[in-house]
Amino acid sequence: MTNFEFVKTELKDSMLIVPFFSGDARGSFEKIFEKNIFNTAGINFNLSEAFMSISQKNVIRGMHFQYKNPQKKIVTVLKGECVDIIVDLREKSDTYLKYQTFILNDTNHNLLYVPHGFAHGFLSMTDDMHMLYLCDGAYYKEFDTGIMFDDKVLDIKWPIKDMNEAIHSERDMKLLSFEDFTKLDAFKDL
């Protein structure tokens, strides 16, 4: 039961993970994490916390990160579908300021590894979409922030027909601009 496939993405150090999945008339079984196998694939991940969010269709969450003591994340969709987006915010990286989109859903069962120094967000494509987050590193509320989903520097092309239909939290509507993010002096050592 160790059949994981690790696929490098266009963004340096991030990875799409196809987990072990088995289904029959009873239902299904899925293995989403095994520390030794992940380490062998180059993902050194020490689970610190796990949580789940539930979103309605057209909810945009993000683009989130922790600017000091950043967390690594592994995310997957347990129910429904989302377009998941990550942005490389590490100035020393070859893929700095590039973003990539991924379809995560309860059919493909894919997981996405989000390294330190990345912003993460998603657009829920279905009602009652359940996303599971596995996090490596402690959560620090005082360092938890993000960049606005529609920041012109990031220039993310969200796949929604009408942005007026997008649903955002009050917190997300007060996130940083990219210009304000650069004043944080975040991720300089990554």
Q: What is the pLDDT along the chain (190 residues), one digit of tens a residue?
A: 568 999 999 999 999 999 999 989 999 999 999 999 999 999 999 999 999 999 999 999 999 999 999 999 999 999 999 999 999 999 999 999 999 999 999 999 999 999 999 999 999 999 999 999 999 999 999 999 999 999 999 999 999 999 999 999 999 999 999 999 999 989 988 8
**Domain extent for 72:** 5-182
**Is 188 within a domain?**
no
**Is 87 within a domain?**
yes
DSSP structure string for the chain: ----EEEE-SSTT-EEEE-EEEEETTEEEEE---HHHHHHTT----EEEEEEEEE-TTBEEEEEEESSSPPEEEEEEEESEEEEEEEE--TTSTTTT-EEEEEEETTT--EEEE-TTEEEEEEE-STTEEEEEEEES---GGGEEEB-TT-TTT------S-GGG-B--TTGGGPBPHHHHHTTT-STT-
**Is 19 within a domain?**
yes
CB 147 within 8 A of CB 156: no
**Is 121 within a domain?**
yes
**Is 190 within a domain?**
no
Provide the annotated active-site residues. 64, 133
pTM for the model stands at 0.95
**Is 139 within a domain?**
yes
Look at the chain and report how many structural domains it folds into: 1
**Is 189 within a domain?**
no
Supply the CATH number for residue 50's domain.
Answer: 2.60.120.10
